[in-house]
Amino acid sequence: MDLTQRPEAPAGERDFARRALCPGSFDPVTNGHLDIINRAARLYDELFVAVFVNPSKPGLFDLDERMEMLRDVCAHLPNVTVSSFQGLTVDFCRTHDVGVIVKGVRAVSDFDYELQMAQMNYGLAGVETFFLPTNPLYSFLSSSLVKDVAKWGGDISGHVPQQVVARLMARLRDA
């Protein structure tokens, strides 16, 4: 494939740019994730929020729990569909006729990594990546940091949706 030229989309897939995908592990979903999801939902007719399944990296919450939390916090967004996938992100995009991946970027370090992924996704399938700068309120926020703070008794209520606070505290208490 000549990477200097845009890959030609199959005839039936030329109008798929109004569908987008927000992929992630969402373990757990944070207010930063939710901010990106809300903003992307305003920009696209249909938005898939898909939990990436990585069998070699089990999360604190299993797949069904993460999807349930996402459905709960995205219930107010009628154009959002919560799903999951394993494998290449572009394969999910092909299967669901998605032409754009939306990624929130917090810092230059995120951009460095995400740019490589965006270029690979474009080269593999012509799927574009839309980088959405994170709201400065959430620029430091990550699921890992939230879990660490909660584990040591810190207040995470301003960093995750309320439904997630209760589940996270219960999970850590039971661990």
- Is the pLDDT confidence value at 49 over 90? yes
Of 57, 76, 109, 173, the catalytic one is 57
Predicted confidence (pLDDT) per residue in 161-171, tens digit: 999 999 999 99
The CATH label, of 3.90.180.10, 3.40.190.10, 3.40.50.620, 3.40.50.150, for the domain at 15-139 is: 3.40.50.620
> Does 147 participate in catalysis according to the annotation?
no
Catalytic annotation present for 106: yes
**83-126 pLDDT, tens digit each:** 999 999 999 999 999 999 999 998 888 898 999 999 999 999 99
pLDDT in tens, 53-64: 988 778 899 999
The structural domains of the chain, with segments of one domain joined by +, span 15-139
Residue 43: C-alpha distances to residues 24, 94, 119, 132, 135 (Å): 19, 20, 22, 11, 16
Residue among 83, 106, 139, 142 flagged as catalytic: 106
Averaged pLDDT for residues 23-31: 96
Residue 66: active-site member: no
As a whole number of angstroms, the distance between CA 41 and CA 55 comes to 29
For the chain, the average pLDDT equals 90
83 catalytic, yes or no? no
Measure the CA–CA gap between 24 and 145, rounded to whole angstroms.
16
Question: Active site residue: 19, 25, 66, 143, which one?
Answer: 143
The residues facing 19 across adjacent strands are: 46
